[in-house]
Chain A
Amino acid sequence: MTTKILIAGFGGQGVLFAGKAIAKMGMDKDMQVSWLPSYGPEMRGGTANCSVIISDDEEIGSPIVNIPDILFSFNIQSFEKFESTVAPGGILFADSTLISKKSDRTDIKAFYIPATELASKNDLQGGANVIMLGKFVAESGLFDKDEFIDHMVSSIPATKAKLIANNRKAFDIGYNYKD
């Protein structure tokens, strides 16, 4: 099965990091993976997005995700731009702190997580992306929870214990969040 994921928001929201965490997890599970960021001047303060493709049975063709099976949307601009492109049967994860709209599509599953608010309430500044990853792992069924979180923090040096703890906490908040 091949899963196409699009993660979109502002530069600085950890969009690229979230994509990398998924791609790296896939790679270490011996899946085919690709990660392609948008690049150029728009990355400096403007919109940022990345295409992530993971597959357990076929070579990855185009690394660009035009029709995502899973969309992460971190701002209203990306919601308006990409919500309609989600494949039927796909999943939308939206940060509802920053996106007041709701999708009126009935052919996709949509989850609204106030990730930015949850992050600041729990003293996890910059942790909205990991909160969203937690929800993604809970709802997508693609990865095992513990495996994902252990793997994600494994790239953080052990000396940064606080950062590791914060990431674990953020992930759990997202994983357990119910609308």
Chain B
Amino acid sequence: MGAREVRLRIAHLFPELLNLYGDTGNVLVLRKRLEWRGIACDVREVHVGERPSFSDVDIVFIGGGSDREQRVVCEYLLEERKELVSYVGDGGVLLAVCGGYQLLGHSYLMGDEEVQGLSLVDLYTDRGSPRLIGNVVVQSRISPQPIVGYENHGGRTHLGDGVEPLGSVVHGFGNDGLSGYEGCLYRNVVGTYVHGPLLPKNPGVADWLIARALERRYGDDAVGRLLVPLDDAEELEANRVMRERLT
């Protein structure tokens, strides 16, 4: 047995600004699922004005905020773009929800004004009417169960050629209400409109993110060694109940 302590670091970007839909729940789920497996976990909150380094970070989380808050964040993050690009290029794990998802792309619309995004993933977002609101079910290859959650977005997100969606919409609207796809999956980046929050009722997605982070930090065999199965009876029951209600 190696004496080395196993530890993952989560960077939660701008928790005080991007927290519209219970987003801290995603970070709580990641932390608990690491701790339940005996893996140490640091959560580092990154606030506006700080200059974050992502070199020792294993999972980055970006939530959604109101337009006003999202703009503050975006202007600031553009200055840190290089850091994020190399993090993603290096296989860094990143989960971005709602507004955070829109920030990943080349641009999005705020009112009628086009705002430059981070261009981490080849996608862009324009606006449509009405807002796409409601429960959503998505079939995705990264989750053994269909993903269930809630969506509420005016934006319509369009993926570039060759960008894989997170999954196919079984119920609800997804990226643009037309393509039948929801979210994006690029390297170890997951972007999605699904909140609720995303991870509690979709433990498969949480464990996929944790698995990618473990592989990157501790090698390919780390998942088999460290990602021990948990009793997810409550999570899976909550997932099943919503799926049965909706489909």
A and B: bona fide binding partners: no
Chain B residues with a Cβ under 8 A of chain A = none
Chain A residues with a Cβ under 8 A of chain B = none
